[in-house]
Amino acid sequence: MTTGRVCVVGSINVDTTYRVPVLPGHGETILATGRSSSPGGKGANQAVAAATLGSQVRFIGAVGSDDNAGTGLGALTERGIDTTGVRQLEETPTGTAIVVVAADGENLIIVDPAANDHVDAAWVGEAIGDCSQEIVLAQLEVPIEGLLAAAEAGPSRLVLNPAPARAATELAELLAHVDVLVPNRAELGQLAGRPTPTTLAEVSECAAALDFAGSLVVTLGRDGAVIIEPGGQVVEQVPAPTIEAADTSGAGDAFCGVLAHELARDASDLAGAVRRAVALASTSTRYPGAQVPATFGVEQSA
């Protein structure tokens, strides 16, 4: 098996998850059926997925000097991820998130970035070094200026998961560097300045309105994912297997981690990377928490 190299520039959080019968409505108070704490952060979740599948992964980010820092960093080092690019701040706490998960696996998430807001251009520029042989994987839980520094360092490919969602006008400079853009439906709609697309035709229309020149992979939850070329033309739709989900909160991150891992092995096979990402992200919903277990991908190893 070819081992690829992935550099993740992103967030490290500790999640507090509340399990509820259904997601609360506006102004509604409901009782939780359970609570747990676990490592998270989009960047960390994606790095763990790629490393668990066998990629050589290094991480650029930031934590505080609190107990949560040990939890977040420990989850990375346990999977063999190089954390020398993670800065530790004395007076800023580690990022945290509140995750609410319903019985059907659907979720809502609130994030306090805290230390993640300090993954700035100066730090990324200092930490990234030579990334010309690496897939750089990024998200939007850290400052855009830091991601621009990573883009300008000349990665083999830059993969961006534009979450939390932003308008394309805020990301114009960064998007010019992005090789593979991986939004979900809602993020694609916000990027394009349109309502969340619900049909494949609407997804294609949003993609065309976005006017993005790179490869676009839109994740569709239970409907899998679709690859769209510039102009909105659908290249391939990849259906998802039917899975009884326990927790969908980390599925998108698992998808991005798998995609980066596969592209690091063979950057020319985007369709194959998307197919495996859909399959494995679907299986990740069987497990609670945002980070995949150490057995992730074993039953579908390639």
Q: Which residue has the tokens 């934590």?
A: 63
- Any known ligand binding at 287? yes
- Any known ligand binding at 45? yes
The beta strands (E) that lie in the chain are given as 5-9, 13-20, 34-40, 56-63, 82-88, 95-102, 107-112, 135-139, 157-161, 180-181, 215-219, 225-229, 233-238
Q: Which residue in the list 82, 117, 211, 253 is annotated as catalytic?
A: 253
- Any known ligand binding at 221? yes
- Any known ligand binding at 276? no
- Any known ligand binding at 283? no
Q: Give how far Cα 224 sits from Cα of 227, 238, 240, 243, 261, Å.
A: 11, 6, 4, 12, 18
130 is catalytic: no
Residue type for position 48: V
Residue type for position 8: V
For residue 30 the two structure tokens come to 């409901």
Q: What is the dihedral of CA 86, 88, 92, 96, to 10 degrees?
A: 50
SS3 291: coil
- Any known ligand binding at 43? yes
Task: Give dist(CA 72, CA 41) in Å, integer.
Answer: 9
φ, ψ for residue 182 (rounded to 5)? -125, 80
Q: 251-265 vs 270-284: helix axis angle to the nearest 10? A: 150
- Any known ligand binding at 42? yes
Task: Give dist(CA 15, CA 97) in Å, integer.
Answer: 5
- Any known ligand binding at 14? yes
Q: Where are the alpha helices (DSSP H) in 86-184?
A: 121-128, 144-152, 168-175
- Any known ligand binding at 282? no
- Any known ligand binding at 11? no
- Any known ligand binding at 248? no
What does DSSP assign to residue 213? -
- Any known ligand binding at 34? no
Question: Residues 245, 113: contact at Cβ < 8 Å?
Answer: no
- Any known ligand binding at 252? yes
- Any known ligand binding at 249? yes
- Any known ligand binding at 41? yes
- Any known ligand binding at 73? no
- Any known ligand binding at 112? no
Binding residues: 13-15, 41-45, 141, 184, 219-224, 247, 249, 252-253, 284, 287, 289
Active site residues: 253
Binding site for ATP: which residues? Answer: 184, 219-224, 252-253
Q: Binding site for K(+): what residues are annotated?
A: 247, 249, 284, 287, 289
Q: Residues marked as binding for substrate?
A: 13-15, 41-45, 141, 253
